[in-house]
Chains A and B, each alone.
Chain A
Amino acid sequence: MEKSVVFNNKLLPYLLLVPQLIITVVFFYWPASQAVLQSFKREDAFGLTSEFVGLENYQSLFAQPEYYKSMLTTLIFSSLVAALSLSIALLFATQADKNLKAAGTYKTLMIWPYAVAPAVAGVLWIFMFHPSLGTLARPLRWMNFDWNPLLNGNHAMTLVVMAAVWKQISYNFLFFLAGLQSIPKSVLEAGAIDGAGPMRRFWTIVFPLLSPTTFFLLVVNVVYVFFDTFGIIDAVTGGGPAGATTTMVYKVYADGRLGGDLGGSAAQSVVLMVIVIALTAVQFKYVERKVQY
């Protein structure tokens, strides 16, 4: 007969939850509620005057064509970065999972870019691809390719996508590698004995078994693209040219910090927050169903 342990103390479970709750409240609910509050106010940069304006900040936000443009930019940017960084990292991880001679070195080198700060990563890519000074931009010019991220929006987008992907590959690589290593060798061997080639084994055995990792990374990557790529964009393009790389989070910064429009900026943060919460909920509801744990 099994005996379940029951604590009769009603308070204890809550007490045990307190540290976690404090962290959540202080670092999430408190700032989030401040943003919501701020979004209903109009305030000057110094905070000397503050006035309740209701939904005016939201109204003027949704009247801006630039805001819809930044939404589209975010959509393009995040799909490209998430898709590329996930697929490239998966490719690298499967290669690193093989029996290689210098596997340790290879893995270590793969992880390094993650330690680079986003702004520094941005500057590195600028040095390589600055239209007239960049070391890699010059060969492009010799090939008569008119590389100009300063004016061509697609070029600028390519540049920030490359920098953002490069930085995120390491993180994804690490998780994919761990995921691959946890797949039992016996399953793969059984597949091989049944005559399945490496490609078939990958798509029918490895990929489905890896799906919890992929799903987790998808969520993390989307959040990364929405928020953490700000430093890269600021360093590489400053949101330009002509707003071609102004994502939603960059616009929050531009309007709030450069423009001193805290109310408008807060309204954008709230919209962004709602979108990310909705997106994550959708991912959990629909994508997670297909995940095989």
Chain B
Amino acid sequence: MAFRQFGAAATVTVALALASPAHAVTELQWWHAMTGANNDVVNKLAADFNASQSDYKVTPSFKGSYADTMNAGIAAFRAGTAPHIMQVFEVGTATMMSATGAIKPVYQLMKDAGEPFDPKAYLPTITGYYSTSKGDMLSFPFNSSSTVMWINNDELKKAGIAEIPKTWPEVFAAAKKLKAAGHETCGFSNAWASWVHIEQFSAWHNVPIGTKANGLDGFDTELKFNSPLHVKHLQNLIDLQKDKTYDYAGRANGGEARFASGECAIFLTSSGYYGTAKSTAKFDFTSAPMPYYPDAAGAPQNSIIGGASLWVMGGKKPEEYKGVAKFFTFLSDTNRQADLHQKSGYLPITKAAYEKTKADGFYEKNPVLQTPLKELTNKEPTENSRGLRFGNMVQMRELWSEEIEAALAGKKTAQEALDAAVARGNAMLRTFEKTAK
């Protein structure tokens, strides 16, 4: 009782001291994994939102890498202290959506809060990844990217390569020329081995990674990426690795520095690498669409997204959910999205923001930023290119990379490595299926 009185007295005192109407500000925790320039973007968004109204305060906190942030969020949920908003990378999607009760679906959130929300206003290639098969949006896309091929124009010119290669055979030929012209340790390379050579490769060639539309239509999916086309591609990489015409650069994106240093003149990685490339690469560079095999029917199809989305955690107060919904409306604003896209290099999530950037003539000056959008919207997505949703995908990627490494090191043939990756992945999917009922 005494405590309550003290609390009331304190509130009054604080309210008087601030000379503002006596209402409490609802604090909303936002856990994220953004570093460097992108961290500033997150902080600025929160600050702008907080300044735009006085009922809610979004507090961003950096929690480490994508995997770290997700683990921190899961651990916090188990301890009953989950944040309101959690940034989860695309491969964590299946894990999050299977956790009914731990999350609050975004479409539900917006409906409950009475916020204007039209799922059709968002780019379907992006929201498709984060929606149920019925089209209900589960999480809010935040930073989206796709795989592109980064090109060091200066070095290509020096090696006498007139045109940016479009197909894989052309890339291999260009890499051989680069090697002959002094790039002895790296003709071409890539970051995110499994994302580039299995996931994006499959979508771009319209071949399945797994059954059930790559898992989007159900957890009883089975992996299928040991097809002849996949084997052929991995075999090509194995052959080229021998004399470093292709040189493996690790599972994650640590190898990106090899592009900026000039060592690798052709480098496949995320379009989100733009900001870093702009500040670290001291040469004329550009981005080009991913290469394809011209003899594969229907290629190139369309690419799928990478990046992360914002998940709303379950078990919070309605008042807090209202604030989160308002924050998402704030993020969807056309001008804000267009601005975010043009500054950070992330894809715009709404159609209006994309159209506005086009109308502004931004892409004429910055064609680099349009490459991933062109890839994503290249064709109407098919079963194989809508996205992917596999349980335990975080560890699965490690496992797939392991097998790619074994093949490139000459310990397994391409067929053996992909068969093993599929078999081990399927075992993991079955474990996941049992827990995610």
Contact = CB atoms under 8 A, between A and B. Distances in A.
B405 A259 contact: no
A255 B402 CA distance: 14
A158 to B, nearest CB: 15
A150 B252 CA distance: 11
B153 to A, nearest CB: 21
Interface in B208-255: 241, 248-252, 254-255
Interface string B404-426: 01101101000000000000100
A167 B437 CA distance: 46
Contact of A46 (B78, B250, B398, B403): B78
Interface stretch (A98-106, A238-246, A266-274): A238-246
B102 interface: yes
B257 A133 contact: yes
Interface stretch (B132-140, B162-170, B428-436): B428-436
A48 B99 contact: yes
B102 to A, nearest CB: 4
A254 B99 CA distance: 20
B199 interface: no
B406 A242 contact: yes
A256 to B, nearest CB: 10
Given A45-B74, A151-B408, A152-B409, A240 B401 contact: yes
Contacts of B394: 258-260
Interface string B96-121: 00111110000000000000000000
A260 B95 contact: yes
B250 A150 contact: yes
A49 B435 contact: yes
Contacts of B349: none
Given A141-B185, A242-B411, A257-B71, A45 B99 contact: yes
B437 A49 contact: yes
Given A43-B435, A242-B405, A242-B406, A259 B101 contact: no
A59 interface: no
Query: Which secondary structure characterizes the binding site on chain B?
Result: helix
Nearest to A239: B398
Interface in A139-194: 141, 150-153
Contact of B409 (A133, A151, A238, A261): A151
A48 B101 contact: yes
Interface in B166-191: 185-186
B262 to A, nearest CB: 11
Of residues A47, A153, A239, A255, which shows the largest number of chain B Cβ atoms within 10 Å of its Cβ? Answer: A47
B258 interface: yes
Interface residues of A, number: 32
B431 A261 contact: yes
Contacts of A49: 435, 437
Contacts of B436: 44
Contacts of B251: 238, 240
Given A44-B99, A48-B100, A261 B405 contact: no
Interface string A35-69: 00000001111111100000000001000001000
Interface in B380-407: 392, 394-395, 398, 401-403, 405-406
Nearest to A243: B402
A242 B402 contact: yes
B71 A132 contact: no
Contacts of A255: 395
A242 B258 contact: no
A132 B186 contact: yes
A261 B251 CA distance: 21
Contacts of A45: 74, 95, 99
A110 to B, nearest CB: 31
A271 to B, nearest CB: 18
**In the complex, which of the residues A43, A130, A241, A261 has the most CB atoms of chain B within 10 Å of its own CB atom?**
A241
A238 B401 CA distance: 11
Nearest to A255: B395
Interface residues of B, number: 44
Contacts of B186: 132
A47 B403 contact: no
Contacts of A150: 248-250, 405
Residue of B98, B99, B402 ringed by the most chain A CB atoms within 10 A: B402
Contact of B392 (A42, A132, A153, A261): A261
A255 B90 CA distance: 19
Contacts of A241: 402, 405-406, 409
Contacts of B263: 132
The winner among A42, A44, A141, A243 for most chain B CB atoms within 10 A is A44
A46 B392 contact: no
A197 to B, nearest CB: 48
Contacts of A152: 409
Nearest to B430: A60
B282 to A, nearest CB: 16
A135 to B, nearest CB: 13
Interface in A259-289: 259-261, 264
Contacts of A242: 402-403, 405-406, 409, 411
A130 B435 CA distance: 39
Contacts of A238: 251-252, 398
B67 interface: yes
Given A49-B437, A150-B250, A243-B402, A44 B98 contact: yes
A153 B395 contact: no
A58 to B, nearest CB: 14
Nearest to B406: A242
Given A43-B435, A151-B248, A240 B99 contact: no
B398 A258 contact: yes
B35 interface: no
A238 B251 CA distance: 9
Contacts of A239: 398
A46 B77 contact: yes
B261 interface: yes
Contacts of A141: 185
Closest 5 CB pairs of A and B: A259-B395, A242-B406, A241-B405, A44-B435, A242-B405
19 contacts: A42-B435, A45-B99, A46-B74, A46-B78, A132-B255, A132-B261, A132-B263, A133-B261, A151-B248, A151-B409, A153-B409, A238-B398, A240-B251, A242-B402, A254-B395, A258-B394, A258-B395, A258-B398, A260-B95
Given A240-B405, A260-B395, 12 more contacts: A44-B99, A46-B74, A46-B78, A46-B99, A46-B102, A48-B102, A49-B437, A132-B263, A151-B408, A257-B67, A259-B392, A260-B394
